[in-house]
A and B are shown apart, each in its own frame.
Chain A
Amino acid sequence: QTVVTQEPSLTVSPGGTVTLTCASSTGAVTSGYYPNWFQQKPGQAPRALIYSTSNKHSWTPARFSGSLLGGKAALTLSGVQPEDEAEYYCLLYYGGARLFGGGTKLTVL
């Protein structure tokens, strides 16, 4: 059974930079897995941030960027704001199926 793994939690200071990663149990994550990233705040539906590794939606703040890093998909937040405190989920495509990672709880402190 394929598993997508994210850091359970990370802490960052306001104004700082943090990188969240997304790994696949099948091996290195490549652009062929079309990584997506989503942000979810308590009590809200998730919001899409990044698709196909590094592409931003029209509403995605410039401080969010996606990439591939060391065989994983990565989401980097630069100049973190207090409102970025949230749960972040990655999604990978495995042919027709899609699999989410378990999520990373980002604390801004």
Chain B
Amino acid sequence: QVHLVESGGGLVKPGGSLRLSCAASGFTFSDYYMSWIRQAPGKGLEWVSYISSSSSDIKYADSVRGRFTISRDNAKNSLYLQMNSLRAEDTAVYYCVRDLGSGGGIDVWGQGTTVTVSS
């Protein structure tokens, strides 16, 4: 069964850093693109970043470019999101998702990890 489990969320002060992790199981992780998607409290979904299976293709939303870094370790079946210079508006639930690209779409979601940026 395909499973994605996020971790690493928590409370951080503005300007601080946090690293999110996503552990994947039940599928060949190295074959798939992966993305991070977030949802601020009471708000809609916002795509944050994607990474190709080999890490050769990476894209970011304008709102996080230059502050967030996506990466993966295929040997560990893990996806990461390094978040620096955090702002209050980065407060959200962060979801790890399996991304099949334009032809296949986004299919599997994790349960999310909560990031709160507050002094």
Q: Interface on A for B, CB 8 Å cutoff?
A: 34, 36, 38, 40, 45-48, 50-52, 55, 57, 89, 91, 93, 96-103
Contact = CB atoms under 8 A, between A and B. Distances in A.
B109 A48 contact: yes
Nearest to A58: B107
Summarize A's interface: helix, strand, loop or mixed. Answer: strand
Contacts of B106: 36, 38, 48, 51, 91, 98
Interface string B52-85: 0000010101000000000000000000000000
Interface stretch (B10-18, B23-31, B97-105): B97-105
Given A51-B104, A52-B103, A96 B50 contact: yes
A100 B44 contact: yes
Interface of B: 35, 37, 44-47, 50, 57, 59, 61, 95, 100, 102-112
B44 A89 contact: yes
A97 B109 contact: no
Nearest to A99: B47
Contacts of B61: 97
27 contacts: A36-B105, A36-B106, A38-B106, A45-B110, A46-B45, A46-B109, A48-B105, A48-B106, A50-B105, A51-B104, A51-B105, A52-B102, A52-B103, A55-B105, A91-B45, A91-B105, A91-B106, A93-B102, A97-B59, A98-B35, A98-B47, A98-B50, A99-B47, A100-B37, A100-B45, A101-B44, A102-B44
A37 B24 CA distance: 23
Given A36-B105, A52-B104, A97-B61, 19 more contacts: A34-B102, A38-B106, A40-B45, A45-B95, A45-B109, A45-B111, A48-B105, A48-B108, A52-B105, A91-B45, A91-B106, A96-B59, A97-B59, A98-B35, A98-B47, A100-B44, A100-B45, A102-B44, A103-B45
Nearest to B35: A98
A71 to B, nearest CB: 19
Nearest to A34: B102
A98 B51 CA distance: 12
A93 B103 CA distance: 10
